[in-house]
């Protein structure tokens, strides 16, 4: 794993359907997170561990999904680039971004990957609404969208998943207060004509803990959507 320590949640434990919640403080190396997801996914599939929601942060890096186009990677910053194994194209991760890895067993929650992705989108949108941020998904585009400080439609969150033997890995990333210029090293998710924004950039500072709590509060609704 990593030297980062798993911090206890600051709110009451809540595990619908026996899903474990984990919040890791400090940056987690990307290869370590991939190894952890791979290992945990295998034991979830075997019925030997609980499903998992893991909230964390990475050091600055780019990830390449299975549809990544090398022409969309510029990387003047020299950040490491990792093959992610998830769907989608290039994505940035770094400090100030809340990453959520969601390891669920769709074998018992309905074998519908598209519904799972829509549920993830709805969960992030509902959590942002708790912070007073109107956000939405767009069918022909990847990600979560809002209006930036200039009133332009801008990307505030990314969605990317992998499903292996009906166990999900990867998940979402929400821009809380990252360095937005770091996104210039790629064409984020293949979309070049719309900007990227963050909660900080639209006037919400120091909301990381509130976002985690909002995600927790809306988790039961997310599972309910999968079950409906």
Active site amino acids = 189
Element at 156 (helix H, strand E): strand 153-164
Nearest to 84 by CA among 25, 134, 31: 31
- Annotate 98-155 with DSSP letters as a single string: EEEEEE-BTTTT-S-HHHHHHHHHHHHHHHHHHTT---B--TTS-SEEEE-TTS-EEE
SS3 call for 30: helix
Provide Rg for the chain, Cα atoms. 16
| Placement of tokens 């991760």 in the chain | 93
């Amino acid at each position: 794993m990593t030297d980062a320590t798993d911090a206890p949640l600051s709110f009451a434990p809540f595990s619908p359907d026996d899903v474990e919640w984990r919040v890791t403080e400090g940056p987690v190396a990307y290869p370590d997170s991939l190894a952890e997801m791979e290992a945990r996914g295998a034991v979830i599939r075997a019925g030997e561990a609980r499903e998992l929601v893991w909230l964390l942060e990475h050091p600055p890096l780019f990830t390449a999904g299975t549809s990544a186009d090398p022409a969309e990677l510029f990387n003047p910053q020299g950040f490491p680039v990792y093959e992610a194994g998830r769907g989608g194209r290039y994505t940035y991760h770094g400090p100030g971004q809340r990453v959520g890895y969601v390891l669920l067993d769709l074998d018992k929650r309905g074998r519908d990957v598209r519904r799972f992705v829509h549920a993830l989108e709805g969960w992030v949108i509902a959590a942002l609404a708790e912070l007073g941020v109107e956000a939405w998904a767009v069918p022909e585009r990847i990600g979560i969208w809002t209006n930036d400080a200039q009133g332009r439609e801008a990307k505030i969150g990314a969605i990317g998943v992998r499903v292996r033997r009906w166990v999900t890995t990867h998940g979402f990333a929400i821009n809380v207060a990252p360095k937005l210029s770091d996104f210039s090293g790629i064409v984020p998710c293949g979309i070049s004509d719309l900007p990227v924004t963050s909660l900080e950039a639209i006037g919400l500072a120091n909301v990381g803990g509130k976002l985690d709590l909002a995600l927790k509060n809306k988790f039961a609704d997310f599972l309910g959507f999968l079950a409906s």
